[in-house]
């Protein structure tokens, strides 16, 4: 949570949800996704609209299924905004499979072609 700016904003369009600040965002991630089990989430770095982003996969037995894309706005070396898109249908736009091996690192390169930088 230290990577977040004190006034960081988390939104998830089109849902009318907004969480502001480290504590509120920490509370959100303690309950959603995977019921707060962040060890069940695999993050893959990507770029969206020239901004850093991560594709999130959620463990489902021996595989991880696409969960969503989180676009990060960075200001003064901290994350000032997170815009989440909980839509695994976006993964092919980033050159990613909607399913990946679990545990992370197991044949990971086979599921992410070179590039991975696309726009939403």
DSSP-assigned letters across all residues of 14-53:
TEEEEEESHHHHHHHHTTSSGGG-GGGEEEEEEEETTEEE
pLDDT in tens, 44-92: 999 999 999 999 999 999 999 999 999 999 999 999 999 999 999 999 9
Query: Percent of the chain beyond pLDDT 90?
Result: 72
CATH fit for domain 4-109, picks 1.10.1500.10, 3.10.450.50, 3.20.20.70, 3.30.70.1880: 3.10.450.50
Specify whether the CB–CB gap between 88 and 98 falls below 8 A. Answer: yes
How far, in Å, CA of 50 to CA of 63, rounded?
29
**Pairing relation of β-strands 117-118 and 41-48?**
parallel
pLDDT, position 104: 77
> Taking 60 as the threshold, does the pLDDT of residue 119 lie above it?
no
pLDDT, position 109: 42
């Amino acid at each position: 949570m230290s990577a977040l700016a004190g006034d960081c904003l988390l939104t998830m369009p089109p849902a009318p949800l907004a969480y502001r600040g480290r504590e509120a965002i920490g509370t959100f991630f303690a309950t959603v996704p995977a019921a707060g089990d962040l060890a069940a989430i695999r993050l893959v770095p990507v770029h969206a609209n020239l901004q850093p982003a991560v594709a999130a996969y959620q463990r489902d037995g021996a595989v991880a299924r696409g969960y969503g894309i989180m676009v990060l706005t960075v200001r003064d070396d901290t994350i000032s905004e997170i815009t989440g898109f909980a839509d695994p249908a976006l993964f092919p736009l980033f050159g990613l499979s909607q399913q990946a091996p679990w545990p992370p690192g197991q044949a990971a390169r086979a599921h992410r072609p070179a590039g991975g930088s696309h726009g939403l």
